A and B are shown apart, each in its own frame.
Chain A
């Protein structure tokens, strides 16, 4: 418990530092950043947007520390400002839409890749030199070495363009009304998800599988495994409760951290498949110089990574009793 509180404290400090940096950087530039942006837009900015920009950056009247507190209070209220390119939609709303799609696609794919990778890794280690180990492992390894976008485009080319089995892009058929209760909509969403999800799984599974397999192999050489077998326990029990339970610890923390990055969106996937997730949102924001939106996304990613790290630490404490003693 104390361990977790200590980590929480550490992460809160990290968060504060990044938020402060976020605050400081525009101010370190010489000149007025808002005016600079206005110049970029070649004067084609809604004057109200300029106002809100000043607000967002905390360029209100008053000394620096007042600005800082205003900025912090805005953040705490969940007010990330207003998106410039999509004025007057607030940043939080824009992100929310992208976040939903990202969580569904990338989240699901990561979970599948992890679960399948772990399961295959266990089998590969248990039966070393047999099918899973000598055939599947090298294949997944090979797949993870491919440049992702190349694999994605290949898949898109053959299965969508060539065979026409899957759509070429987007999260759902644009002519179907967005309604989660409609089975038509649901099946369209699923249909659109399959190719991008598959490409993510194919490239990610190798890493998890290899990691788990290697951990398993070192755990399998431990005496307590021999003891468990000598006790006459079934192979299944030894493999899962004794071996995998110990071997999975490092992979789990890796998984928790990769969940943090899920929120950053799988940028390449979303570009290749034109999937409207957070990555796509971020890309558009960069292209349109939509600073509030960019800042909002970065902040979200920062928080997500820190939360994921905290989650990983917590999980370790829950799963490994030796850490609790510390």
Chain B
């Protein structure tokens, strides 16, 4: 069933978006049936912007990130849609073309660097790999140059350059994550996809890493697609946030708007699930029930069984599409029909 084509965010009308995801569908077969891990997900990411993709476990945010960078593991496969990176559909590239943009233009920071680094190779080797895999023809770097660049990168992320000969297990968790970030920066990409980069780290180390990333962004001006389940972190760090639920994008807005003025009932309830350190102590309730089974999702709006303001009838039969409901603010909910603005009005 096709959804009405969402009107795209015209935030920076001067430039085309760097990344444009359109109707992305990711599926995989299980013994019990077909799972739609991502269902017609569409959003734009602009140059020099941090776009956060938030949601709970199983919502599909990691799936979307993996699909965009084409590192989905079987049995998951892309069943439809486009991922336009600088106007080129990444999903249609062959292996060679893919290798070309991989790391040079889009790189990835994985969750829990513990496992993202091979334990038997030095940190320097793993940085050098990224550098050497992409030299074709023009100015081959000598070993010396590669090593120097590796040391430079370590320095950039706040690690003593002499650690270039260390093995991953000799570094602390925070340092390992910095190494992974250094590798991601190696070829000066335009977009870095960060999949839960600080989830496995303590809160103080997390702050150090996020500050470091901010600094590097100021220096190099890359965009970030930031995946996390930690909404507080997300809102603090991102320019715009997209909330996912059960494989669908249900709300997209600038981060302060998501925090101060959430529109979708799921987002509203979600924001009500985080205890805060400042402000008054209010009673929080969370959301009753659990996320739906993606093999047989509820008909109509996927959130309606847990929604306290669902409309009898429409919410149970008709799936809402992502519509613009304000300046740079989109949501997928029937109750917001009266707020829908036309593309021309939202400037």
Contacts and interface: CB of A to CB of B under 8 A. Distances in A.
Contacts of A249: 120
Contacts of A234: 133
Contacts of A226: 71, 73, 110
Contact of A230 (B103, B118, B121, B134): B103
A321 B129 contact: no
A313 B183 CA distance: 33
A232 B116 contact: no
A319 B120 contact: yes
Classify chain B: how many residues form its interface, as a range.
20 to 34
Interface string B115-150: 111111100000001100110000000000000000
Contact of A320 (B107, B117, B120, B134): B120
Interface in B135-191: 167, 169-170, 180, 183
A135 B67 CA distance: 32
Interface in B61-77: 69, 71, 73
A227 B167 contact: no
A232 B117 contact: no
A116 interface: no
Interface stretch (A101-109, A140-148, A163-171, A240-248): A240-248
A232 B73 CA distance: 16
- Secondary structure at chain A's binding surface: helix, strand, loop or mixed? helix
Given A226-B110, A231-B133, A322-B169, A246 B120 contact: yes
B61 to A, nearest CB: 17
A148 to B, nearest CB: 35
A237 B128 CA distance: 13
A233 interface: yes
A325 interface: yes
Given A224-B117, A246-B118, A232 B183 contact: no
A159 B67 CA distance: 56
B90 interface: no
A224 B167 CA distance: 14
Given A230-B71, A237-B129, A321-B120, 5 more contacts: A223-B111, A227-B110, A230-B108, A234-B133, A320-B120
10 contacts: A223-B116, A226-B71, A227-B117, A230-B108, A234-B133, A246-B120, A249-B120, A320-B120, A321-B119, A321-B167
Top 7 A-B pairs, shortest CB-CB distance:
A232-B102, A223-B115, A321-B167, A227-B116, A224-B118, A231-B130, A232-B99
Interface of A: 222-224, 226-234, 237, 241-242, 245-246, 249, 319-322, 325
